[in-house]
Amino acid sequence: MSATRDDPGLLEAVFSGAADAIVVVDTEGVIVAANSAAHDLLGAQDLVGGSVDEFVPEPARAAHRGYREVFAAQGSTRRMGAGHDLVARRGDGTLFPVDIALSTVEIDGAPHVVASMRDLTTLVDTREQLESSRSQLAIMEDRDRIARDLHDTVIQDIFAAGLGLKAIQATLTDPDAVQRVNSTVDQLDSAIARLRRVIFDLRVRTGEGITTTVERVVARLVAGSGVQADVQFGGPLESLTARIREHLVATIREAVANVVRHARAHHALVDVHVTDRECIVRVSDDGVGPGESAGVGFGLDNMANRAAALGGGFSFGEVDSGGSAVTWWVPLPDNQAKTRSPASKP
C-alpha cells in the first residue's frame, strides 16, 4: 500500500531515504534515531544508543556539550556554527568539513534535537582550488604588467641612452675616450639583452605546465651556443606551488646561462625531481669545471638566496666526471621543518 499524508510510513520513508545524514538526539546527547546516510557519513555500523559527542573532534567536545544543552532548552531552527567552518569526526577518527542544520522536535513529551548533516569535502576542495587559481592568476597578471613596463619604459630608456652615447662618440677625437664609449655602449646592449631574457621568462603563457616552461627556457638559452641540453623530470610536479615554480624557473635560467657563458661545455643536463618532501633541481655540464672561482658570483648568490627564501639550500662544485653541477633544493610547503642540510645532498 502506498504511503499517504496521514500514514506514519510516509515520515519513515522520508527519514530513511533522505540524501542528507540525519540523527535525532535526546537532551543527554544520546542518538535515538539515525538514517542510513548518517551511518555512511559517520562511518559507524550502529549509531543508535551512542553519544553524538563521539563525532565531535576531541578539543571541541566540552564546549559542544554546553552548546547542545543550551540549544535543546531554547528550541529553534538554525544552522550550527553559523559563520564558522565546522569539522566532524568519523568513527575511524578522520576529520572532515561538514554543514549541520539543527531543529527541535518533541517526542513522547520530551524535547529532542534533529541534526541534518552534509559532507562539504568536495566543496571545500573546490574552494581551495579556486583560491589557488585566483592567486596564480594574480601572480601571472602582475608578472605580465612588469614585463610590459620593462619593455615599454626601461629598455627604451637604455636604448635611447645608447643612441645618445653613439652621437657623442662621433664628436670625440681621443682614442681612449672613444674606447670607453664603445665599452659603455656594449654594456648597455648586454643589459638590454638580459632584460629581454627576463621579459621572455616573465611573459605569461596561459595553461603552460612547469615542464613546458622549463623546456622552453632551456631551449632558448642554449640556442646557437653549441651546447646540447637535455631536460628530464621526475615525481609529482603538479604539487609545486606557484611560488616554488617561479623560483625554480629563475634558478634554471641562471644556471643554464652560466653553463653557456662560462663552462665551455658541449653538453648540459637539467634534472628536476619532486618527492613527497622536496623539489630538487640539478644542472650539470661537461665543461672546464668551477676552477678557483667556485662559489663566487652574483648569479650563484641569486640561486642560493632563492633557495634560502623557500627554506631550502644550494651547492655548486665540480663533479667526478669533470665539469660542474648546481644543486638546488627546497622543501614542499608541508615539510618546511624537515629541510635537510647541504651536506646530505649529492
pLDDT tens track for 46-56: 899 988 888 88
Whether residue 346 sits in one domain with residue 215: yes
Handedness of CA 134, 139, 144, 148 (dihedral sign): positive
User: What is the rounded distance in angstroms from the CA atom of residue 64 to the CA atom of residue 195?
Assistant: 60
Domain that holds residue 171: 121-204
Q: What is the mean pLDDT of residues 28-54?
A: 88
- Spatial separation of the C-alpha atoms in residues 78 and 71, rounded to whole Å: 10
pLDDT at position 214, please? 92
Predicted pLDDT at 133: 74
pLDDT in tens, 121-171: 888 888 888 887 787 677 777 777 777 778 778 888 888 888 889 889 888
Q: Which three cell numbers stand for residue 1?
A: 500500500
Does the pLDDT value for residue 204 go beyond 50?
no
Quote the pLDDT of residue 134. Answer: 80
Query: Is 90 exceeded by the pLDDT of residue 66?
Result: no
pLDDT of residue 344: 36
Strand partners, 325: 284, 317
Query: What is the Cα gyration radius of the chain?
Result: 32
Question: Number of structural domains, the chain?
Answer: 3
Measure the CA–CA gap between 101 and 120, rounded to whole angstroms. 13
Q: Do residue 21 and residue 108 come from a single domain?
A: yes
Domain boundary among 86, 119, 152: 119
Cα(15)–Cα(121) distance, integer angstroms: 23
3-class SS at 270? strand
Confidence at residue 339, expressed as pLDDT on a 0 to 100 scale: 42
Quote the CA–CA distance of 195 and 2 in Å, as a whole number.
78
The answer on pLDDT for 346 being more than 50 is no
In a domain, 168, yes or no: yes
Residues 186, 275 within the same domain: no
218 and 194 within one domain:
no
At 292, is the pLDDT very low, low, confident or very high (cuts 50, 70, 90)? very low
Boundary (domain end) residue, out of 119, 139, 172: 119
Q: Are residues 187 and 253 in the same domain?
A: no
pLDDT value, residue 77: 60
Question: Which is nearest to 314 in space by CA: 323, 326, 298, 324?
Answer: 326
**Angle in degrees, 0-180, between the axes of helices 242-258 and 210-222, rounded to the nearest 10:** 20
**pLDDT of 311 higher than 60:** yes
Phi, psi of 236 (to 5 degrees): -80, 80
Give residue 79's pLDDT: 61
Distance (Å, whole) CA 330 – CA 303: 11
Higher model confidence: residue 276 or residue 298? 276
For 221-259, write each residue's pLDDT tens digit: 898 899 999 999 999 998 888 889 888 998 999 999 889
Most confident of the following: 126-130, 175-179, 280-284: 280-284
